[in-house]
Homo-oligomer: A and B are copies of this chain.
């Protein structure tokens, strides 16, 4: 008080408080290694307090990092509120990453304590490295017993929290306090650490609630299938709590059957995850009976939602796909492909077309789309450019990665009223995604900036070529990368996994012809290389850098 006017800081605490006090009987349900658990927000709040007391007892202090190596379940959800609300920083680690990335991440973040799932203890022990894990003092296994493991200082969660007080005097944190941390997926290089302040998580939560965000209501039953180690499960643990809605966590490696059962038995209204999960569910539903009548919406993101998936869920199950785009750097929500008023009277196919785009920027953010010369690209649905975003939940720097900061952020020329460079607002994140924007403002991702092929001054979308190739029945998988070319700068080369027994020569001719038919002639790949499998990253995205490295020395195109 005194000096500047202002209000109380933005922190996660009020969301926990509100759910506990105003929706004490609403449920948190969780599939775990041990079965299905269920309790109320009121009990949840008590356990969150117990966990904070246990962490304080274990010496965790304001500003310390606590890591998790876990699937989606209630104990992980307890850590989601306990760790940041006591002033520490929740660092979610992707257990699917290769060992050397896990080592880099734990060492870089200097986690003091790690929570680990029973089924992931072995993986973690395998990745364990004395130097990289030097900061880690204790492991807590997410269950009620400790499995056999070479790891030292291991407790089980229930003993860790059991007997602790069910109250905690949550501190008044400043909004700049780091609350979370997550590393990017490493699709384009070494994973980069992103720190989320209390304010960023508060803002992201508030932005997730309205229609123009993810549209959460207290009557909803929300099941995030997207892992809690992927950008806070897209913020659902926080936003569902803020809405006072019911949580359903699908636990370790859920199968399509597990998901269908939980939807049916818990009355899930909203679920969320990457496209492959929903392809799997569609396959399961085609063969098995399951009651999907409670389900209203599936939020799909992480990769592009195929139009066919959007169509099938609408036609066959009356479920709306909410296609969204985001990034680790933005906590992650960026755009949502909601239809605008009036569009519900368009022909269904046109509606699906809009929904298959990545959508409209969420209120509170700003964007621009710029070409190679830094000029803004017109919103005509055709011209490409790199998407830049900024806003209260978009980071303005990576953790200890000055070279990546240099590359991925753009500081505007001047600030307001004589601010120093450090205080300048309005920093843009250069997303590395290449997009078109249509006249209605719908963003469509056409490629990654690192994957887009620059040929003779024009851009070729590797993603569009891949989709066209994969539409061929004799193609199991395909990816397209640009390789250096003396005259044209870069030219596309296709890597194709043919289905068993296909004649490669005739398939090649067929594919080239098809591309020449559908796209400008010069988009046709200069070469089609047949391979056995497209290499993938830990999160299942095509790993083009591996292909590029692999074919670096071989002059595929002259």
Contact = CB atoms under 8 A, between A and B. Distances in A.
Given A364-B202, A425-B172, A243 B5 contact: no
A234 to B, nearest CB: 17
Interface in A209-244: 209-213, 216-219, 242-244
A394 B7 contact: yes
Nearest to A194: B5
Given A206-B203, A219-B341, A422-B2, A7 B172 contact: no
Nearest to A63: B417
Interface stretch (A14-22, A456-464, A523-531): A14-22
B6 A396 contact: yes
Interface in A61-77: 62-63
Contact of A8 (B4, B213, B422, B426): B426
A447 interface: no
B242 A363 contact: yes
Contact of A172 (B175, B405, B412, B441): B412
Contact of A391 (B7, B173, B415): B7
B209 A1 contact: no
A390 interface: yes
A54 interface: no
Interface string A170-181: 011111111000
A285 interface: no
Contacts of A405: 1
A392 interface: yes
A392 B197 contact: no
Interface residues of A, number: 88
A205 B210 CA distance: 11
A209 B363 contact: yes
Contact of A416 (B172, B202, B421): B172
A338 B364 CA distance: 25
B210 A243 contact: yes
A10 interface: yes
A474 B212 CA distance: 51
A203 B10 contact: yes
| Max chain B C-beta neighbours (<10 A), residue from A5, A205, A396 | A5
Nearest to A423: B174
Contacts of A216: 210-211
A249 interface: no
A197 B5 contact: yes
A458 to B, nearest CB: 26
Contacts of A363: 14-15, 18, 205-206, 209, 242-243
B62 A425 contact: no
B172 A424 contact: yes
A449 interface: no
A440 B205 CA distance: 23
Contacts of A250: none
A361 interface: yes
A393 to B, nearest CB: 6
16 contacts: A1-B397, A4-B176, A5-B195, A8-B392, A23-B340, A62-B416, A172-B415, A174-B415, A206-B206, A209-B211, A209-B213, A210-B243, A211-B243, A212-B218, A218-B340, A243-B363
Given A14-B391, A209-B213, 11 more contacts: A4-B176, A5-B395, A15-B364, A87-B416, A177-B416, A209-B209, A209-B210, A211-B216, A212-B217, A212-B244, A242-B364
Interface of A: 1-11, 13-15, 17-18, 21-23, 62-63, 87, 171-178, 195-197, 199-200, 202-203, 205-207, 209-213, 216-219, 242-244, 338, 340-341, 360-361, 363-366, 379, 390-397, 399, 405, 409, 411-412, 415-417, 419, 421-427, 440-441
Nearest 8 interchain pairs by C-beta: A172-B426, A209-B210, A22-B441, A219-B341, A5-B195, A9-B425, A172-B425, A206-B206
